[in-house]
Amino acid sequence: MTDNNWIDESLGRLEPASDWTPNTTAALAHLKRKDRVHRAWRRSWIWTTAIVSVVGISLIVAPAPATCAVAGIGCANTVKAAASYKEEGSAHAPITVEIFTDYECPHCALFYQTVYPSLAREFVSTGKVRIVHRDFPLPQHPSARLAARYANAAGQWGQYNLVVSTLFNTQQQWSPNGNVDDVVAQVLPPGTMEKVRACVQSDPGLDRSLESDMAVVAQDQINQTPTLVIVAKGQRHKLAGAQSWEILRAYLNELLK
């Protein structure tokens, strides 16, 4: 495959979500001209498609989360906590990037290990981009939902980013047997781990942010991980599949112009 053909193929994946009709023609045309001089990057891997049915996916309306099954330990309100621990960057950033991932997806792990650090350093820390982490556990991954519960429980105790990075970095250790607890216990203090376990085991409100994310998955018709939904000037642009840092950076810079 020639460099030009690959770039055209990659850029063709910058499709808008079905509910919006953004005018990105000029930005994409300019990006094509720039990227034709770039060296070819290895082809992106696209994870197995998981079709999500709109039927049955809805926001859960429930009372305040129940107390965890450990005396004296309570879980924070999931909805309120999610607004902080699953978001990074300035609330006034001109661009929001929603990252839909599955903790058992190898391409999601690769994204967090290779692309995400550059995204956080160059765009989030400089106030240009706000990040929203969204869970999309695929049905073929039996432990992905459990891993999301551990990450969200840890987020209520201020350890979301640590547990997220740990789960992706140790994916090959816990994915075959589903022993998420062991790898999380290796990075959290014993007292915090006890609280996280209690929430994972008994807090019915813990899934609330996950179900909210799945409602957005259905709304945006997302069917693979990782997927980025870039929100700029009131419009949503969907980038499906693994993206190179070079293409993502160029696209964000175009939107910032």
Residue 162's domain spans which residues? 51-256
Residue in 219, 238, 202, 201 with CA at minimum distance from that of residue 59: 219
Q: Is residue 36 part of a domain?
A: no
Whether 207 is covered by a domain: the verdict is yes
Per-residue pLDDT at 9 = 53
Q: With respect to residue 32, please indicate whether it lies within any of the assigned structural domains.
A: no
pLDDT at 76: 52
Q: Is 74 part of any domain?
A: yes
Q: What is the CATH number of the domain that holds 239?
A: 3.40.30.10
**C-beta separation of 63 from 193 below 8 A:** no
What pLDDT is recorded for position 106? 97
User: Quick check: is 11 in a domain?
Assistant: no
Model pLDDT, residue 230: 97
Beta strands (DSSP E) in the chain are 14-16, 87-88, 95-101, 129-135, 227-232, 235-240
What is the predicted pLDDT for the residue at 202?
81
In a domain, 46, yes or no: no
Tally of domains in the chain: 1
82 CB-contact burial (10 Å; exposed 0-12 / middle 13-18 / buried 19+):
buried
- Which run of H or E residues covers position 57? none
In this structure, how many other beta carbons lie within 10 angstroms of the beta carbon of residue 96?
17
pTM exceeds cut of 0.75? no
Going across the sheet that includes 87-88, the strands are: 14-16, 235-240, 227-232, 95-101, 129-135, 87-88
Is residue 9 in a domain? Answer: no
What pLDDT, on the 0 to 100 scale, is given for residue 66?
Answer: 29
Residue 146 lies in a domain: yes
Residues with pLDDT less than 70, the chain:
1-83
